[in-house]
Chain A
């Protein structure tokens, strides 16, 4: 079986999805189910004091017994905030140590601050977290994150929530070629073909949220993404044909064509190849 293995655990699906920006929990659940994802990201936030008597909880809709929850550090701009958030997440999820680290550098672009990300990753790894790390598409940084002990590197395709697709496939290719741990494209996927291209490049998986949640029909898009990731993976494994500008080798047999038209004779008749 062609499975995704992260930190020693095996997953059938190579599509990881976020749970933000849906109109309600029932849509979140329907989209997650349609996506076939086994790993889903969640954020950690202050509870609304005094306003949560009967408020439904995300973990009741998407129970940790059914999914691998991947708590993130979205919204964190410092090492301290990211590390504190994930310590709280581990307590919240009964010692679960697989996490998504992202340390942002700029509220306008949400571009990752890689200096702070490297520092946070080092602390978290020392505390026995299994760190899946959101990173810029810099191959050297990605390798450093791998070398320090991250369990997966997750370069951006383009900026978070932008839907701009894969802007630098060549950098992704270098990161994939250099990596011995899973490489997942995280952020920037806009539509199904973007996910397929990522997988055709040889990515081990794709993580997305907005591309599904902001579609006109999120549940249908979740289904499309599931197929797109599977198609891209199969195409990658199958190995694509070589590109050439044109081919003198048609797909159908050259012999046995009825009312045989001899191209040599024709050309001779026009005098062009005489």
Chain B
């Protein structure tokens, strides 16, 4: 088992996963989002290559109304 922290919430996974798998897991496929892992942006082009492993801190963001 590995643990990822996604937007501050811990979540368990059977084994390391790539970012595309995470997006499917979170039902965010097709949504306009941006993802940061341990403070670094993960470019969309690297979603299927970048492997997420135990202890990774992820931020998944969207655009919302603001001034």
A contact residues vs B (CB 8 Å cutoff): 18-22, 28, 41-47, 49-50, 52-53, 57-59, 69, 71-72, 74, 84, 87-89, 91-93, 160, 207-210
Contact B65 A88 (CB under 8 A): no
Contact A59 B63 (CB under 8 A): yes
Give the residues in chain B near A41, CB-CB below 8 Å.
Answer: 66-67
Give the residues in chain B near A160, CB-CB below 8 Å.
Answer: 67
CB distance from B59 to the nearest CB of A (A): 7
Contact A18 B6 (CB under 8 A): no
- Judged by DSSP, the binding face of A is mixed
- What are 27 residue pairs bridging A and B, where the CB atoms are less than 8 Å apart in the complex? A20-B66, A22-B65, A28-B65, A42-B64, A43-B63, A44-B64, A45-B64, A46-B60, A47-B7, A47-B31, A49-B7, A49-B60, A57-B62, A58-B63, A59-B32, A72-B67, A74-B66, A87-B41, A88-B36, A89-B34, A92-B34, A92-B61, A92-B63, A93-B63, A207-B67, A209-B67, A210-B67
CB distance from B25 to the nearest CB of A (A): 10
Quick check: is B9 within 8 A (CB to CB) of the other chain? yes
CA distance A88 to B62 in the complex (A): 9
Given A52-B31, A84-B36, A92-B32, does the pair A47, B63 have CB atoms closer than 8 Å? no
Cβ contacts B10-38/A at 8 Å (1 or 0 each): 00000000000000001110011111100
Contact B67 A19 (CB under 8 A): yes
Quick check: is B44 within 8 A (CB to CB) of the other chain? yes
Given A43-B63, A58-B65, A88-B61, does the pair A49, B6 have CB atoms closer than 8 Å? yes
Most A-side CB within 10 Å, residue of B27, B39, B61, B66: B66
Give the residues in chain A near B34, CB-CB below 8 Å.
Answer: 44, 88-89, 91-92
- Residue of A21, A49, A84, A93 near B65 (CB, 8 A) is A21
Contact A71 B41 (CB under 8 A): no
Give the residues in chain A near B66, CB-CB below 8 Å.
Answer: 18-20, 41-43, 72, 74, 209
Contacts A22-B65, A41-B67 known; list 19 others, CB within 8 Å.
A18-B67, A19-B67, A20-B66, A43-B63, A43-B66, A44-B62, A44-B63, A47-B60, A49-B9, A49-B26, A50-B27, A58-B62, A58-B65, A69-B63, A74-B67, A88-B61, A160-B67, A207-B67, A210-B67
